[in-house]
């Protein structure tokens, strides 16, 4: 059996879709909410969920709170803006993991305001989300968290079905989220002792745009593909701008 862990904050616009898509997969759905002020919790209560209201300690630590409270050792970590398609739903119903070091990687298809993005930054996306908590957990990263293992993992890719990632629902939210991630990642780099030199500031954003828009065919997704690739380059630039300011003035400079 799987326990499903979802972290939330002000996800009323999407969490109902997420929870509807996973009905029947598990009898243990854990919501870890870090201070929602909208109807997120009210919506979650309409489904068969357990709700943990807590402080925000970064992505990794907050997810680990849900893992610690899970009924089962096998964990399916799901984001609040994701859903399970019907094919993946059936695959998960039949999944019977045995070896404690086995982890499962899922295919993910991302949407920009309900348009499926097939190429560029979001194309060919795969993410590891199912693991046993006796061998795996999230690291302490505030952003871009990774799974850490007690012993070498046996990675299996599930080829049937996809996660559906509704990552952008309006342009204002997309812009705000991009800046927030840039700031958080800059802080992560600062704590690791990294620097922001000329190459990182000016060449990395340019390379990012060319890589995803040209070589990974982002242009085939139309104006949305251009915007995503351009925004990703802007994110890269701002990340290093913030890091440079932190290197000059300290962690709380931005």
pLDDT tens digits, one per residue of 128-144: 999 999 999 999 887 88
Burial of 240 from C-beta contacts in 10 A (0-12 / 13-18 / 19+): buried
CB atoms within 10 A of CB 231: 18
Phi/psi of residue 145, nearest 5 degrees: -70, 155
How far apart (Å, rounded) are the C-alpha atoms in residues 15 and 5?
Answer: 13
At residue 123, the pLDDT reads 94
How far apart (Å, rounded) are the C-alpha atoms in residues 235 and 174?
Answer: 11
How far apart (Å, rounded) are the C-alpha atoms in residues 153 and 145?
Answer: 17
Q: Which two tokens stand for residue 181?
A: 């991630």
Angle at which helices 222-249 and 171-191 cross, to 10°: 40
Mean pLDDT of the region 28-50? 97
> Cα angle vertex 203, ends 211, 194, to 5°?
110
pLDDT tens digits, one per residue of 193-234: 999 988 999 999 999 999 999 999 999 999 999 999 999 999
Given a contact cutoff of 8 angstroms between Cβ atoms, the answer to whether 41 and 33 are in contact is yes
Residue 254 predicted with pLDDT over 90: no
pLDDT tens digits, one per residue of 131-190: 999 999 999 887 888 999 998 889 999 999 999 999 998 999 999 999 999 999 999 999
Going by pLDDT thresholds of 50, 70 and 90, the confidence category of residue 249 is confident
């Amino acid at each position: 059996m799987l326990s499903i862990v979802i972290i939330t904050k002000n996800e009323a616009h999407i969490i109902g879709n997420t929870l509807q898509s996973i009905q029947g997969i598990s009898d243990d759905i854990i919501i870890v909410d870090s201070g929602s002020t909208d109807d997120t919790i009210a919506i979650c209560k309409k489904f068969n969920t357990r709700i943990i209201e807590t402080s925000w300690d970064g992505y990794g630590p907050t997810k680990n709170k849900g893992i610690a409270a899970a009924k089962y050792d096998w964990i399916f970590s799901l984001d609040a803006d994701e859903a399970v398609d019907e094919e993946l739903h059936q695959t998960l119903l039949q999944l019977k993991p045995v070896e404690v070091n086995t982890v499962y990687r899922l295919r993910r298809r991302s949407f920009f305001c309900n348009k499926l993005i097939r190429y560029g930054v979001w194309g060919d996306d795969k993410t590891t989300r199912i693991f046993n908590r006796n061998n795996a957990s999230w690291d302490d990263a505030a952003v871009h968290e990774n799974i850490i293992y007690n012993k070498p993992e046996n990675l299996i890719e599930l080829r049937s079905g996809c996660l559906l990632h509704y990552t952008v629902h309006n342009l204002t939210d997309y812009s705000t989220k991009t800046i927030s991630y840039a700031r958080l990642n800059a802080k992560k780099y600062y704590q690791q002792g990294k620097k922001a030199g000329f190459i990182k500031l000016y060449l990395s954003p340019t390379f990012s745009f060319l890589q995803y828009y040209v070589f990974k065919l982002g242009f085939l997704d139309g104006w949305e593909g251009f915007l995503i690739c351009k925004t990703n380059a802007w994110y890269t630039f701002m990340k290093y701008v913030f890091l440079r300011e932190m290197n000059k003035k300290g962690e709380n400079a931005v």
